[in-house]
Amino acid sequence: MKFTMQREALLQPLSQVVGVVERRQTLPILANFLLQADDEKLSCTGTDMEVELRATHTADVQQAGRITVPARKLVDICRALPDGCEMVLEQQDNQLLINTKSSHFTLSTLPADEFPDLEQADNLNNYTVNEGALRQMLEGTAFAMANQDVRYYLNGLLLEKKGSLLRCVATDGHRLALADLSEEVSGQQDEQQVIVPRKGILELLRLLENDGGEITLGIGSNHIQVSKPGLTMTSKLIDGRFPEYEAVIPPTNDHDVVINRGRFRTALQRAAILSNEKFRGVRLEFSNDAVKIIAHNPQQEEAVEELDVAHTVPAMSIGFNVTYLLDALNALSTEDVQFKLRDANSSCLIIEPGSERTRHVVMPLKL
């Protein structure tokens, strides 16, 4: 194998793929990229056996071939070289030679045949979605995924397809985030529910762009695949049953609070300074046209924030984990947010005023 590329051209696919390569590996070859050069194109693949990323870029290929090389070392070399330099990469026996006008590197390699190939993602139902819209859905829900929960099916995000509707749902058992795609999804009108693992979702968030065009979303029984020009991500799915999330969403919360998102967020951030470090609890006290945010800690310290707010909530006090409230507020983009409450023992629904396309449910906290 031998090919020539500009430094920036080579760094682009390497940077797109390196995120999936774990620093600590059970198999040495998982620390490597698979490089394949042919047909005036370089393909770079990385995997952790759960998620696979493949990026391609045009290259001046003098000799076709396949080899695996240490991923992070190759990325570090490319980043350290000066802008605009031309790189010649050539395989010699069990080594990869990297030459520029003034720099020369030799990397060890492993045979390409040993590189694990993620099970073929076949029988996919393919849909066309807007890249920016999909990213916004994931941003509005991914924060609610569990992390290393024994209920393994919560350590991911539910992707649901119903007719022309695409929906994302995530929950860790204490809060829930749901987002619907704002536009219809073109493609086969099948009904599917799959759980995408946490790492697959985080990689998607890193790779998707807000101003991107149309991309292909393929959903199968064992894999999900997202393809955009020059880049394909394939992820295994979590084999489990997601909770009946619709039963968690409060159907009839009678009392409404519409509040400025920025003012409420900064008030919560100030109160959180003196909240209990373990439980992160704050108490919201509603009275006539006002709400107080109160935080205590075991050191007998207290923070009180008072906001003038028009609301229909009767006089009551309800506790919440302040981190959960802040995460929900950060995931919304409107100037105002709407809280729908029933009583001090019921969950709270947080939405954008006049729209339920994105919904956040936060369970109360006993303080």
- Condensed to tens digits (0 to 9), the pLDDT of residues 188-218 reads 767 899 999 999 999 999 999 988 789 999 9
> What pLDDT is stored for residue 323 in this prediction?
97
Q: Is 4 exposed, middle or buried (0-12, 13-18, 19+ CB in 10 A)?
A: middle
Cβ contact 187:181 at 8 Å: no
Q: Which SS3 state, helix, strand or coil, does residue 162 take?
A: strand
Q: Average pLDDT in the 38-48 region?
A: 95
Average pLDDT, integer, range 254-261: 92
Contacts of 197 (CB under 8 A, 6+ apart): 50, 51, 155, 156, 235, 236, 237, 238
pLDDT computed for residue 354 by the predictor: 86
Q: 119-150 pLDDT, tens per residue?
A: 666 688 899 999 999 999 999 999 999 999 99
pLDDT for 85 beyond 90? yes
How do the domains of the chain map onto residue ranges? Answer: 2-114, 125-246, 249-362
Residue range 252-276: mean pLDDT, rounded: 93
How many Å apart are CA 268 and CA 3, to the nearest integer?
56
Q: Token pair of 93, please?
A: 């026996």
304-329 tens-digit pLDDT = 999 999 888 899 999 999 999 999 99
Write down the residue that tokens 């929960």 correspond to.
Answer: 149
Q: Starting at the edge strand that comes first in sequence, how are the strands of the sheet with 290-296 ordered?
A: 302-308, 290-296, 281-287, 316-321
Q: Is the pLDDT of residue 257 over 70?
A: yes
Q: Which ranges of the chain does DSSP label H, i.e. alpha helix?
A: 7-17, 71-80, 131-139, 198-207, 261-272, 322-331
The amino acid at 350:
I
Percent of the chain at pLDDT exceeding 90: 83
Q: What is the pLDDT of residue 326?
A: 97
The whole-angstrom separation of Cα 219 and Cα 222 is 8
Q: What is the reported pLDDT for 66? A: 96
Query: pLDDT at position 24, please?
Result: 84
Do residues 52 and 234 make contact, with C-beta atoms less than 8 angstroms apart?
Answer: yes
Question: Which fold, 249-362?
Answer: DNA Polymerase III; Chain A, domain 2 (3.10.150)
| Residue 284, pLDDT score | 96
Residue whose structure tokens are 């983009």: 333
| pLDDT of 123 | 81
Angle at 197 between CA 196 and CA 201, to 5 degrees: 75
Average pLDDT over residues 72-89: 97
Residues 6+ apart with CB under 8 A from 31: 21, 22, 25, 70, 71, 72
Joined tokens for residue 219: 């959903």
From residue 7, give the alpha-carbon distance in Å to each of 14, 57, 194, 312, 365.
11, 12, 39, 61, 53
Q: How many CB atoms lie within 10 A of CB 245?
A: 17
Give the CATH architecture of domain 125-246. Roll (3.10)
pLDDT at 164 (0 to 100) = 82
Q: How far from chain centre, in Å, is Cα 339?
A: 25
pLDDT score recorded for residue 121: 65
Digit-coded pLDDT (tens) for 341-359: 999 999 999 999 988 899 9
In the CATH scheme, what architecture does the domain 2-114 have? Roll (3.10)
| pLDDT exceeds 90 at position 185 | no
pLDDT of residue 189: 64
| pLDDT, mean over the chain | 93
pLDDT of residue 211: 83
Is the distance from CB of 285 to CB of 292 less than 8 angstroms?
yes
Tell me whether the CATH fold assigned to 2-114 matches the one assigned to 125-246: yes
pLDDT over 90 at 97, yes or no? yes
Alpha-carbon span 163 to 101, nearest angstrom: 57
Instruction: State how far the Cα of 282 lies from the Cα of 285, in Å rounded to an integer.
Output: 10
